[in-house]
Amino acid sequence: MTDRLPHTLRSDALDNRERILDAARAVFATEGLNVPMREIARRAGVGPATLYRRFPTKEMLVTEAFTEQMYACHVIVDEGLADPDPWHGFCLVIEKMCELHARDRGFTATFTSTFPNAMDFDARREYALNAVAELARRAKDAGRLRPDFVVDDLVLVLMANSGIHATSPAAQVAASRRFAALAIQAFQASPDAAPLPPAPLSPSRMIVNRR
């Protein structure tokens, strides 16, 4: 009995952690990042003390909840960079990132937010944005991407994509794919395309330019 107790406690703690993360992902996806921690604890079926013991701040909870999605972003941009055709790689990144973000609107809010104390998450996001910037440079050099594209344009696309509401997850993804196709057409280099207005300064721009 004594020998088995620590294992039981560890198992219970792991179960609580997974329930908290599952509840956080679900509520962030539908209601955004402003949901109170107590509400997340209620939906997870744990007490607030248990939640704060596992995740002392919401920043820590948000970061942990979306680590898997951030890793998926890495895989997407690495796949785009590995494509010998930079325009095809750029289109692939737009399509797959829009679909990833469409499946979880809470991740878009996380991706476009700044978490100064979550260095690992910010470093992962910076890597993804810098990789997109490098891919965009290659596509511009190939003459396929409009020369006034900036990385913030991708962030704007993701933010707009997160505003799509559909009757089912499948319809959500289908609408996102169509939106991504429209965005890609807008990004494609065209001799008669009107120049874009100046890009606003955003957190993503500061991340990309920070050295």
Same domain, yes or no: 79 and 137: yes
Same domain, yes or no: 19 and 117: no
Same domain, yes or no: 95 and 194: yes
Structural domain that includes position 138: 67-209
Same domain, yes or no: 76 and 166: yes
pLDDT digits (tens, 9 = 90+) for 19-55: 999 999 888 877 778 889 999 999 999 999 999 999 9
Backbone angles phi, psi at 147, to 5 degrees: -70, -20
Same domain, yes or no: 109 and 51: no
End of a domain among 14, 47, 65? 65
- H helices present in 66-201, as ranges: 67-82, 86-102, 105-111, 119-141, 151-161, 169-187
* More confident of the two residues 162 and 4: 162
What is the predicted pLDDT for the residue at 21? 92
Query: If you average pLDDT over residues 11-21, what whole number do you get?
Result: 79
Which of 44-48, 117-121, 123-127, 189-193 comes out lowest in average pLDDT? 117-121
Q: By the 8 A CB rule, do 137 and 128 touch?
A: no
Same domain, yes or no: 110 and 139: yes
Asked whether residue 11 carries a pLDDT value surpassing 70, the answer given is: no
Same domain, yes or no: 91 and 156: yes
pTM for this entry: 0.76
Same domain, yes or no: 49 and 146: no
CATH number at residue 203: 1.10.357
CA distances for 135 relative to 34, 77, 92, angstroms: 33, 8, 11
Same domain, yes or no: 95 and 193: yes
Residue type, 28: F
What is the predicted pLDDT for the residue at 149? 95
Same domain, yes or no: 9 and 51: yes
Give the total number of structural domains in the chain. Answer: 2
What is the predicted pLDDT for the residue at 139? 97
CATH number at residue 15: 1.10.10.60
Same domain, yes or no: 148 and 197: yes
Asked whether residue 10 carries a pLDDT value surpassing 90, the answer given is: no
